[in-house]
Chains A and B, each alone.
Chain A
Amino acid sequence: DGGITQSPKYLFRKEGQNVTLSCEQNLNHDAMYWYRQDPGQGLRLIYYSQIVNDFQKGDIAEGYSVSREKKESFPLTVTSAQKNPTAFYLCASSHGQLATNEKLFFGSGTQLSVL
């Protein structure tokens, strides 16, 4: 089955700890995205990547880092600098053709909580 796989489903972070969320896709998509979702705040863009080895900050990139070494993978690291990391994190991908009718495909999300 083609799709996007996020892992783990649930993750707990201790204070001062960095944690990494995994996102893998086998859709052969060039573009990948990370969103953060808090209750009542919709989807807020953290980082996006239009192509391998390139990525751009989104609206709330502070305290997060990403890498895009492979087309299929776009891991997100939540660093200790992110003081309020508890949220639902969503990874998405799209073809990457810069078209306004391009559809996004989402993973099933990772719920990150602070111990």
Chain B
Amino acid sequence: LAKTTQPISMDSYEGQEVNITCSHNNIATNDYITWYQQFPSQGPRFIIQGYKTKVTNEVASLFIPADRKSSTLSLPRVSLSDTAVYYCLVATLAGNNRKLIWGLGTSLAVNP
């Protein structure tokens, strides 16, 4: 099963682009990669999801190389409100069950 590994913390400044990379070396063929954002005392919320190459939505981009052993969440021009914990998730099928493999989260601090 894939194991997801991501940096524990990152620091940035307002207006900068932030890239958070997650490694998932044993990802299986049909597994998707999903990123969630969590603010203190709240539940995580979906940011973006991808299978390969690049996905972009109104809040972020997700880059996945051809070997799919890693993925990079890109937050353009961060603001103070982007200070949060970001989780990488790989979902895989194990028999008749879906197994969700979470990273431990990356705590992003955006400074003025």
Contacts and interface: CB of A to CB of B under 8 A. Distances in A.
Number of contact residues on A: which range applies?
20 to 34
B1 interface: no
Contacts, number: 60
Contacts of B103: 42
B80 interface: no
Number of contact residues on B: which range applies?
20 to 34
B91 interface: yes
B104 interface: yes
A104 B101 CA distance: 13
A43 B87 contact: yes
Interface string B72-112: 00000000000000010101110011101011110000000
List of 9 A-B pairs having minimum Cβ-Cβ separation, nearest first: A106-B43, A42-B104, A100-B91, A101-B32, A100-B32, A43-B102, A98-B98, A103-B46, A106-B44
Interface of A: 4, 6, 40-43, 45, 50, 56, 88, 90-92, 98-109, 111
Interface of B: 8, 30-32, 34, 36, 41-46, 49, 51, 87, 89, 91-93, 96-98, 100, 102-105
